[in-house]
Chains A and B, each alone.
Chain A
Amino acid sequence: MIKDTLLILFALGGAPLLGGLIAGIDRRITARLQARFGPPILQPFYDVAKLFGKQMIVPNAWQVFCAYVYLVGAVLSVVLFFLQSDLLLIFFVQAVGAVFLVLGGMAVPSPYAQVGAQRELIQVLTYEPLLILVFVTIYSVTGSFKISAVYGHATPLLKELPLIFLVLTYALTIKLRKSPFDFSTSHHGHQEIVKGVLTEHSGPILGLIEIGHWYETVLILGLCALFWATSAAGMLLLVGITYFAELIVDNAMARMTWRWMLGYVWSVGLAMSIINIIWLYTK
C-alpha cells in the first residue's frame, strides 16, 4: 500500500518534471543538431510558468473543459502505468485524453484548428492499431497484459520482440508529433497550418496541454523502457538511444502527407509485427 502510494505520488509529481526535462534536453540537442546554441534545459518550465501567468483567453467554455479532461486522461494513464496495471487499460485511458485534445481543437470552426484536429485524428488512427498489436505481442511473450508480468519476465522483451520495438518507435514518433509525422501540430517553425490542433489554445489552457504532453511523453517512453525491464541501466540506455534516434529522424526528415503516413506506417508496422510474431511461433 505504501509502495503504491509512493508510486502514485511519483507519477503525479515526478512524471511532469521528467517530461519537462526531456523536452528541455530535446530542444537543446535539436538546437545543436541545427548548429544553434539552444535554450537552457529548464526553458520548458519557464515557458509553462509564463503561460500560467497570462490572462485567460479562450474561444469558448467547451475548450476549457476539453483541456482539463485531456490533462486528466494523461495523468491517469501515467498513474496506471506506474501502478503496473493492464497495458490495454492504460492505452484506453490515454485515449480519453487523445479524443479530448481533438475535441478541444474542434471547439471552434477555426479553419486552422479544424484541419489540425482532423489530422490529429488520422495520427491516432495510424498509431492505435500498432500499439494494440504491440501489447498483444507482449501478451504472447509474457502471458499477460499486465506490466507486472513484464517485470516478472526473465529476459528483456527486446530480445524476443526486436521488430515490435521498432513498431513502438513509430507510434512514439507519431505521439511526440515529430517529423515526418508532425501534421497536426509541430514544434518546428515551418508548420503550414499555424499551430494545428493547438492554434486556438493560449495562456493557461495551452499550459495545461503542455503539461499533459509531458505526461504522455513519460508514458510512451516508459512503454519503450519496458522492453529492457530486467535492468534499470538497460531501461535508461534503451530510452536514451531511442530518443536520440527520434531527434535525428526529426531533424533529418521532411513532413509527409497523412495519406503517406497511414499507408506507410500501417503496411510497414503490420509487416514487421507479423514477421516478429512468426519468429515467436517458430521458437
Chain B
Amino acid sequence: MPSLLLFMCIGVPLIAGVVCFSVRMAFVRTFTVLVTGAVLTAGALMLLGHGTFHYTPPAPWGGLINAAVSLADFALLGIMFQIARRHRHKLIMVLVALQALPLMFFELFLIDHKAPAAGFYGDNLSLIITLIVSIVGSLICVFALPYMQRHEDHQKPAHSRQPRFFFLLLAFLGAMNGLALSNDIVWLYFFFEVTTLCSFLLIGHDGTELAVQNALRALWMNALGGVAFVAGMIGVHQITGTTDIQQIVAAGPAAALLVPMALFCLAGFTKSAQVPFQSWLLGAMVAPTPVSALLHSSTMVKAGVYVIFRFAPVFAGTFFSQGLAIVGAFTFLVTIALALGQRNAKKILAYSTISNLGLIIACAGINTPTALTAGILLIIFHAVSKALLFLCVGTIEQEIGSRDIEDMRGLFAIKPRIAVITVIGIMTMLLPPFGVLISKWMAIEAASNNLPAVGMIAMGSALGFVVWGRWAGILMSASYKKGLTPEPMSAFTIGPLNVLAGGAVLFSLVLPWIYSLLVRPMLAFAPYQVSFGSLDSPIGGFTVIPIFIILALGFVAALKQAQKTRARHVAPMYMSGLHSGGPDDETFRGPMNRIVRIETGNYYLTRLFGEERLTFWVNNVAVALLVLMMGGAL
C-alpha cells in the first residue's frame, strides 16, 4: 500500500510534468494539472490515514534506486556546472565542484553499497509537509493556469513557455514530497538539489536580465547550502556509519554529531533564506507570482526548516541549540523590520516569509515540546495564509498593474472581492483566533526562559502589527459607493483563493485537534492538555474554540450592523470645510480656488527601517551570530 501512495505523491507529479512539457496543448495542460492535484491530494490524505510507516523497496529495487539517485545527483551537479559555465559564474562553478568532488569520494570509497536501502519513512512531521505540498501546492498550480495565460498575453513571448513552466512546477511538487518522505540522507540531498535547480529555473522564467541575475544569486547561495549539506552528510556517515536518517536521529544526542548537525542547519539557513542569505529570496520575487507562492513561501523554503526540525532531537539541550534560537529570533525581528520599510507588496510578503521561517527556526532551537509544537503549527498555518496572500497579490497585480501597496488604496471600491479576500488573508496572519497568531503565542511562551530570544520576538511581533495593519487599512480606504458589483473572476482563480481563505480560517477552528492528532504524537511529552477545544498547560492556556466562536459571533453582528448602512447615513469626510462640492468626495478647494485631490500615504519609516539603511548592519550581525552558533557546535 505505501508503495502505491508514494508513487502517487512523488512519481505522478513528475510524470504529469513530462506530459505538460511534451503535449503543448492548453486543455491537456489544464486537465493534467487538475488530475494531478486530485491524485496528490488523495495520495497525501491516504498516506496520512495510513499513519507512520517505514517502507523499504524490495531487494533489487532498493539498490537500483540508490544507484539511480547517485547518478542523478551527478547529473544535477553537471547541469548546474553547465549553467554556471554558460553564465561564466565562477563562484557557482567552485561551489558545484565542492559538492561534486566530495560526493564522488563519498560514493566511491565511503558508502557501503551492499547495506540495505533506508527507503522511505513517513512520520507526522514528513506527512504534514507532504500534506502542505500536495494540497496547497496543487491549489497554487490550478491558480497558475489562468494566471500564466494572462502573464503571457501581457509578456508576449515568441512561443509559449508554459509547458516548461508547468513541467517545473509539477516536478517540483514531486521532489518536495520526495524530500519530506526520504529516509536516506543521500536521497534527501538529491531532492534538496532538485528543488534548488527548480527554483533557479523558475526564478529565471521570464528571461529578463534581472530575472537571470537574481536566479544566479539564488543558485550560488543554495549551492553554498549544498556544500554544507554534502559536508554534513559525509561527517554524519563517518560518525554513525549509516545514511539512514532514523538511525542517525536515534544515535543522538551526541556531542560528536554537533558539527554535521550545524552544517545541516547551515544548509537549512540558505534554503530558508535566513539572514545573511535573505537576498536570494527577495530577488526571487521577479518570478511569476505562483512561483513565489509555491516555492518561495509555502513549500520549498520550508525544506530548510524541515531539515532542521528533522534533526532537532540530536542537538536538544546544547549551546548550539540556544544559538540557533537566537539566530532565528534575530532573523524574525530584523526581516519584519525590513518589511516595514517596504511598499512593494511582494517584498513585504517575502520579508514576512523569512521572518516567520526565522521564528520557526527559533522554535527548533528552543527545542522543548512546547516550542516544537509552536514551530510545526506555524509551518502549517503560515503555508496556507502566505500562499493565499501571494495569490491575492498576483491577482491584484494583474488587475491594477501594480504591486505597490499605495496603489491598492481603496481597492475595495474597484475590486471588492479580491480586496476582501486579501483582508481575510492579512487577518489570518495577524489576529487571534487564527493559527499563525496562536503559534506565535505558543512560541513566546516557549521562549520565555530565553530572554534575548523572547525580547526579539516581542519587538518583531509589534513591527508585524504595523506591517499588516496598514496594508489591511489601505485596501478598505475608500469613500462610500452605492451598489458595489463583485468583479468577475475565472473559476480557477477564485476557486483556490476561496479554498485557501476558507482553509486558513477553518483550520484555526480545528487547531486543538491538529495539535492532538498530528503534533502531539511527535513529542516526548504533551505540552498542552486539550479540553473543550482549549489548549491548557500550567504555564498558560489558549481557549481556542470559545474565543473563535465569540469573535465569529462578534464579526457577524458587526457585519449585520454594517449592512444597515444606507446612502442617507453617509456624509463626506471632514476637510476643514473646503470640500470642492463635486460628485467626487476626495477633492477640496485649494489656494487660488483650484480643485486639489487629497493624497494620503502610509508611514514607511524608511529612515529607520529602509533596506539600504538596515541591510548592511543586519548582514554583519547575522554573520557574527552564525559564527557564534557554529562555534557552539565545535
Q: In B470-500, which residues have CB < 8 Å from any A CB?
A: 470, 472-474, 476-480
Question: Are B473 and A117 neighbours in the complex by a CB distance under 8 Å?
Answer: yes
With contacts A59-B571, A60-B478, A99-B430 taken as known, whether A76 is within 8 angstroms of B602 at the C-beta atoms is: no
Give 1 or 0 for each of B567-610: 1 = CB within 8 Å of chain A CB: 00111111100000000011000000000001010110000000
Question: Are B558 and A68 neighbours in the complex by a CB distance under 8 Å?
Answer: yes
**Chain A: minimal CB distance from B479 (Å):** 6
With contacts A62-B562, A146-B540, A146-B541 taken as known, whether A270 is within 8 angstroms of B574 at the C-beta atoms is: no
Give 1 or 0 for each of A138-179: 1 = CB within 8 Å of chain B CB: 011001111000000000000000000000000000000000
Complex CA distance for A117 and B469, rounded to whole angstroms: 10
Contact of A51 with B by CB under 8 A: no
Question: Are B455 and A133 neighbours in the complex by a CB distance under 8 Å?
Answer: yes
Question: Are A110 and B573 neighbours in the complex by a CB distance under 8 Å?
Answer: yes
Cβ of B430: which chain A residues have Cβ within 8 Å of it? 99
Question: Are B444 and A136 neighbours in the complex by a CB distance under 8 Å?
Answer: yes
Contact of B432 with A by CB under 8 A: yes
Give 1 or 0 for each of A199-226: 1 = CB within 8 Å of chain B CB: 1100000000000000000000000000
Question: Are A95 and B431 neighbours in the complex by a CB distance under 8 Å?
Answer: yes
Question: Are A102 and B473 neighbours in the complex by a CB distance under 8 Å?
Answer: yes
Contact partner of B574 (CB less than 8 A), chosen from A64, A106, A199, is A199
Contact of B524 with A by CB under 8 A: no
Segment at the interface with A among B117-125, B220-228, B308-316, B459-467: B459-467
Question: Are B459 and A129 neighbours in the complex by a CB distance under 8 Å?
Answer: yes
With contacts A110-B575, A112-B574, A144-B538 taken as known, whether A103 is within 8 angstroms of B444 at the C-beta atoms is: no
Complex CA distance for A77 and B220, rounded to whole angstroms: 49
Question: Are A124 and B598 neighbours in the complex by a CB distance under 8 Å?
Answer: no
With contacts A62-B562, A64-B565, A129-B459 taken as known, whether A114 is within 8 angstroms of B600 at the C-beta atoms is: yes
Q: In B137-184, which residues have CB < 8 Å from any A CB?
A: none
Give 1 or 0 for each of B521-558: 1 = CB within 8 Å of chain A CB: 00000000000000000111111000100110011011
Question: Are B448 and A99 neighbours in the complex by a CB distance under 8 Å?
Answer: no
Complex: chain A residue closest to B597, CB-CB: A109
**Category for how many chain A residues contact B:** 35 or more
With contacts A85-B541, A88-B540, A109-B478 taken as known, whether A58 is within 8 angstroms of B466 at the C-beta atoms is: no
Complex CA distance for A109 and B602, rounded to whole angstroms: 11
Contact partner of B432 (CB less than 8 A), chosen from A89, A106, A115, A136, is A89
Contact of B284 with A by CB under 8 A: no
Complex CA distance for A69 and B201, rounded to whole angstroms: 46
Question: Are A108 and B569 neighbours in the complex by a CB distance under 8 Å?
Answer: no
Give 1 or 0 for each of A58-90: 1 = CB within 8 Å of chain B CB: 111110111111001100100010000111110
Question: Are B569 and A56 neighbours in the complex by a CB distance under 8 Å?
Answer: yes
Complex CA distance for A33 and B558, rounded to whole angstroms: 40
Contact of B445 with A by CB under 8 A: yes
Complex CA distance for A88 and B437, rounded to whole angstroms: 11
Contact of B203 with A by CB under 8 A: no
Cβ of A7: which chain B residues have Cβ within 8 Å of it? none
Cβ of B474: which chain A residues have Cβ within 8 Å of it? 106
Complex CA distance for A81 and B297, rounded to whole angstroms: 36
Complex CA distance for A69 and B569, rounded to whole angstroms: 20
**Chain B: minimal CB distance from A117 (Å):** 6
**Chain B: minimal CB distance from A163 (Å):** 15
Give 1 or 0 for each of B440-468: 1 = CB within 8 Å of chain A CB: 01001100110100110111011101101
Complex CA distance for A65 and B427, rounded to whole angstroms: 14
Q: What total of chain B residues lie within 8 Å of the partner, measured CB to CB? A: 66
Complex CA distance for A106 and B474, rounded to whole angstroms: 7
Contact of B269 with A by CB under 8 A: no
**Chain A: minimal CB distance from B535 (Å):** 10
Contact of A41 with B by CB under 8 A: no
Contact partner of B573 (CB less than 8 A), chosen from A85, A86, A109, is A109
Question: Are A118 and B555 neighbours in the complex by a CB distance under 8 Å?
Answer: no
With contacts A60-B478, A85-B543, A108-B573 taken as known, whether A129 is within 8 angstroms of B469 at the C-beta atoms is: no
**Chain B: minimal CB distance from A203 (Å):** 9
Question: Are A62 and B444 neighbours in the complex by a CB distance under 8 Å?
Answer: no
Cβ of A67: which chain B residues have Cβ within 8 Å of it? 558
Complex: chain B residue closest to A131, CB-CB: B458
Cβ of A110: which chain B residues have Cβ within 8 Å of it? 573-575, 598, 600
Contact of B208 with A by CB under 8 A: no
Give 1 or 0 for each of B410-447: 1 = CB within 8 Å of chain A CB: 10100000000000000000111000010001001100
Contact of A92 with B by CB under 8 A: yes
Contact partner of A62 (CB less than 8 A), chosen from B412, B441, B572, is B412
Complex CA distance for A174 and B432, rounded to whole angstroms: 23
Cβ of A48: which chain B residues have Cβ within 8 Å of it? none
Cβ of B478: which chain A residues have Cβ within 8 Å of it? 60, 62, 108-109
Q: In B317-352, which residues have CB < 8 Å from any A CB?
A: none
Complex CA distance for A72 and B550, rounded to whole angstroms: 9
Contact of B409 with A by CB under 8 A: yes
Question: Are B569 and A99 neighbours in the complex by a CB distance under 8 Å?
Answer: no
Contact of B59 with A by CB under 8 A: no
Contact partner of A109 (CB less than 8 A), chosen from B445, B479, B557, is B479
**Chain B: minimal CB distance from A186 (Å):** 16
Question: Are B441 and A109 neighbours in the complex by a CB distance under 8 Å?
Answer: no
Contact partner of B539 (CB less than 8 A), chosen from A111, A112, A114, A144, is A144
Question: Are B540 and A144 neighbours in the complex by a CB distance under 8 Å?
Answer: yes
Extra 12 A-B pairs, beta carbons < 8 Å, given A68-B554, A103-B473, A111-B575 = A60-B479, A72-B554, A76-B547, A76-B550, A76-B551, A85-B543, A89-B547, A121-B603, A125-B466, A129-B458, A136-B451, A136-B454
Question: Which residues of chain A have a CB within 8 Å of any CB of chain B?
Answer: 56-62, 64-69, 72-73, 76, 80, 85-89, 92-93, 95-96, 98-99, 102-103, 105-115, 117-118, 121-122, 124-126, 128-129, 132-133, 136, 139-140, 143-146, 194, 199-200, 266, 270, 273, 277
Top 7 nearest A-B pairs (CB, nearest first) are A106-B473, A72-B554, A68-B558, A128-B462, A145-B540, A132-B458, A61-B565
A and B contact pairs by CB, cutoff 8 A, 24 listed: A58-B571, A59-B480, A59-B570, A60-B565, A60-B570, A62-B476, A64-B565, A72-B555, A72-B557, A88-B444, A89-B541, A89-B547, A99-B468, A103-B472, A106-B474, A109-B477, A109-B586, A109-B600, A113-B574, A114-B600, A118-B470, A125-B465, A132-B454, A144-B539
